[in-house]
Each structure stands twice: as structure tokens, then as C-alpha cells.
A and B are shown apart, each in its own frame.
Chain A
Amino acid sequence: MKIVVDFDLCESNAICMQIAPDLFEVRDDDFLYVLNEEPGEDRREALEECVQRCPKQAISIAE
């Protein structure tokens, strides 16, 4: 499972960071950083919630 972020769409709303702080971090420069691009299957549910709740629909999962 690989996390794909479309950084042209991302506006750093940081919802993903709240849901999965182990995977995403918005830093003081207001940019989003993916902390672990290939998390284990145990994070799929959290990641799917990030995909659904990203206001910019900037996150997707590559299998």
C-alpha cells in the first residue's frame, strides 16, 4: 500500500494529520509531509478515512 498525495491539490488543511499523525505532518512552513509513504495494511482503515475526509481530495492509495 502506497500513499499518493497530489500536492497541486493539497492545501494543508491537516485533517489527515489529525486522523493519522504517524503518516502525515503539516509543519510550520504550512506544507504537508508524508512521514511514511508505504505503511502496513493495519493502517488501511485510517488511510481510507484520510482519503474520504481530505477536503481537497488530494490523497489516494496505490495498491
Chain B
Amino acid sequence: MRAALPEAGHLHRGVSRRSITIVGASLAGLRAAESLRRQEFDGPITLIGDETHAPYDRPPLSKQFLAGEWDRDRLALTKPEKLSEFDLEFRLGTRATGFDLSTRRLSLSDGDDLEVDGLLIATGARCRTLPGTDGMEGVFVLRSIDDAEAMRAAFDAAPSRVVVVGAGFIGAEVAATARQRGLEVTLIEALPQPLGRVLGDEMGAVCADVHRDHGIDLRVGVGVDAVEAGRDGRVERVRLSDGSVVEAEVVVVGIGVIPNTEWLEGSGLEIDNGVVCDATCLAAPGVTAAGDVARWPNQRFDEIMRVEHWDNAVEQGGHAAMRLLQDDDEARPFTPVPWFWSDQYDRKIQLAGRIRPDDEMQIVTGSVDERRFAALYGRAGRLVGVLGFNRPRHVMQYKTLIQEGSSYADALAAEI
């Protein structure tokens, strides 16, 4: 049955669109626009982005850019000469402030009000912050290039200590880069192990060891009670829930993100921890969503997902763009195997699939001691995930097995 459906990437003309408007000019939005052009959609495409910069790549911000190895020019998502070939209209430094599904009117922060035909929502997410830290000098989050530049300048000033709140992927990468720059780092995690909720406590403990081996003062199972500034408004210390106090000149907060959907309140679209879509990424007729902001049922895992990974933004951007040109009969469900990587110190951590802390887990190659291994995760007899530390080939080959619906037992026995 699946074979009878059109393959991804083929030309669809089930629905003819005059124009397509993409709100959000970062990875998902840009790749969506490029997919439309590659599929020979030749109507006007407008991208609306709240940042003033041309679309840039965010993953290097916490690594090469923060380390001072790369400058802004290297971050372009698509080189300027290539970008101009796509003939896209960019309205940068402009925020969408409202949308009305019944009239299909989109309002912008510059006062403009447009009628849209096809609409793709890719407004991403923003960082959560700690209460009481708004405007406090020396406290940073990391999402945008401006955030990264400010943080880099703070690192350049050789602070006596950097406190990173949250040992998720962003926090871990910032901590690793700060150490690489020779700074003293305290990393604070509320859970018993870093990434415990994602990888389970056993693998979380491996991540904890990697941090400690690199000289990080890692504190787990403690929360932040308060971040305090001196009279000059600069941050001075962080008070933890176990009563301890850490002096800090720089505090980095990496405690997750919130999808940017406020502008869609009252739009007629369903909003619930993201823009709610059907299995094909359609939120309403002629409206799709992609990237961090999109929530949709991934039929492969029988789970409603909102995925904040780089690769998902690329893939879902393309899928949601094509969906705007398809009628309901030819639309395909979006069923990716989520995948991401995180580079910390000299380790490349990759995870593919959808794992839970209580899944079965077994190492299939390498060992935890050498910090080079691949581990498989199974649930109800099915292969649901693969975690790799410096094992990219294995991760990708097991990812293919997940895609093929392999059983856990077959995957364990597979010669990879």
C-alpha cells in the first residue's frame, strides 16, 4: 500500500498555490523554501524572520563559534550566491504578530498585514529562563548568534568561574567549550544524572563521568534556589537547593525551550505545546508547521511528538513544504526516526530513535570504559533506539533497522 503512494521529493501538483509564506527564517523555514524551489514551485515565496541576520546554522554556536574558532561568516546556512538563485523574498527583523485562519490574514510587527495562500509555520522555540534573572548582567542563554556573541565576549574576559545551569545537550556543550577555553566550570543538574530522562540513569552516569574527567565540577540532584547579583547588577553567586553557594562571574542557563506560538493565539489553529498538526504536518487547510514549533503524531512510534533536533527541522521543513502542494489523497504521513548528535570534548554522542529510561538496553559494540560504544534500546520486542559514543557508522546502520521495523532480538543478532 505504501508503495502506491508517491515517493518523497517527486513533483506534486495536487493543489495549485499562488504563493507561499513561511514564518520563521531559520533552518526549517529555509530548507522548506529550498525544497519548494527544487520541486519547481515558481510562485512567490516570502520568509519572515524576527532576527536581522540571514539564516545561519545554530549547532556551531555552542562549539566552534563559542570557542572562538569560527566567525559569523562561516555560519551561513546557504551561501549568499546560492541563496539568490532561489529567488526568495526575505523580510528579516520582522515578527509575525497574529494570524486569522478565517480571513487568512497575517499581521507583522512592522504594521503590515498580508493575505496568505500557503502558510508554513516554522517559528521555532526560545530559551526558558530562571526567574529573577531578567536583565541581570553576566547571565546568558544560548539560542541566537547574538546570544553566542555575548557569551563569547564574556568568556574572552576570563571569568573566574562559569556556572552552567542544566546539563542537557546545550548545557553540556557550553560546559565542554568553556573547559576547552581553560575556564573553571560548575555544571548543575536537577536530575540524579545528566540526561537521565533521555538516556536512562546508566548512560547518564557515563555522561557524568565524561564531564568529571574533564575537570568539571558537576553537581547532580540539586536545583537552583536563587541567582544573586551585586549592587552593580552583575551576577555574583548561585544558591543551590542543598544549601551550597557557588560564586560565579558568568551564569549560563540551559533548561530547555518553549515553542513560539503566542502570536497564534486566537488564530483558529490548535495550539498545545506547539502547533498541533495531523500526521502529514497539516495544521489546517493550506497551513503546515515544521521544526521545533510543530507537534504531530509520528505513526512510526505511535506517539505525538515535538522534536527539537537539527535534522528534524531539515526533514520536516521539506515535508511540510511539499504538503502545501498536495491534496489530502496524495499526502504522506511524516514518520521520521528522530536523530541528533552532540559534540562534547572529543566525544560525538548520537542518538537515533525514541527511547525511554525504562527501555531494555544492551551494548552491542565497544565498551563504556573506552567511551566508544553503541547501545541498543528495545521496547515490547521492538528496536526503538540506538545510542552511540564515537560510533557514527553503527548508529546509522541501526537507525536503518529502526526504520525497517526490526525486532530487538534481530537487531541484537545483526552483524553490524
Contact = CB atoms under 8 A, between A and B. Distances in A.
Q: Do A and B come from one complex?
A: yes
A26 B396 contact: yes
Given A18-B399, A49-B9, A55 B393 contact: no
B393 A14 contact: yes
B396 A17 contact: yes
Interface centre among A12, A18, A27, A30 (most CB of B within 10 A): A18
Given A13-B341, A30-B390, A45-B9, A52 B31 contact: yes
Please classify the interface of chain B as helix (H, G, I), strand (E, B), loop, or mixed, using the class held by over half of its residues: helix
Contact of A18 (B31, B310, B318, B400): B400
B315 interface: yes
A46 to B, nearest CB: 9
Contacts of B339: 15
B350 interface: yes
A26 B314 CA distance: 22
Contact of B392 (A13, A48, A49, A52): A13
Contacts of A13: 341, 348, 350, 392
B9 to A, nearest CB: 5
A11 interface: yes
A52 B314 contact: yes
Interface residues of B, number: 25
A36 interface: no
Given A11-B348, A13-B350, A52 B34 contact: yes
Interface in B317-350: 318, 339, 341, 343, 348, 350
Given A11-B348, A48-B38, A53 B315 contact: yes
Interface string A28-63: 101000000000000001001100110101000000
A55 B341 contact: yes
B220 to A, nearest CB: 29
Contacts of B400: 18
Given A11-B348, A48-B38, A55 B392 contact: no
B392 A53 contact: no
Contacts of A30: 390, 392-393
Contacts of A55: 59, 310-311, 341
A49 B390 CA distance: 24
Interface centre among A14, A26, A30, A53 (most CB of B within 10 A): A14
B396 A53 contact: no
A13 B395 CA distance: 9
A15 B312 CA distance: 12
Contacts of B278: none
Nearest to A11: B348
A39 to B, nearest CB: 16
B393 A15 contact: no
B308 interface: no
Contacts of B341: 13, 55
A27 B343 CA distance: 19
B339 to A, nearest CB: 8
A12 to B, nearest CB: 5
Given A52-B314, A57-B57, A26 B38 contact: no
Interface of A: 11-15, 17-18, 25-28, 30, 45, 48-49, 52-53, 55, 57
18 contacts: A11-B343, A12-B392, A13-B341, A14-B395, A14-B396, A15-B339, A15-B396, A17-B396, A18-B396, A18-B400, A26-B393, A30-B390, A48-B38, A52-B34, A52-B314, A55-B59, A55-B310, A57-B77
The 9 closest A-B pairs by CB, nearest first: A14-B396, A14-B392, A26-B393, A18-B396, A12-B392, A53-B314, A45-B9, A26-B392, A17-B396
Given A12-B393, A45-B9, A53-B315, 19 more contacts: A11-B348, A12-B392, A13-B341, A14-B393, A14-B395, A15-B339, A17-B393, A25-B393, A26-B396, A27-B393, A28-B393, A30-B390, A48-B38, A52-B314, A52-B318, A55-B59, A55-B310, A55-B311, A57-B57
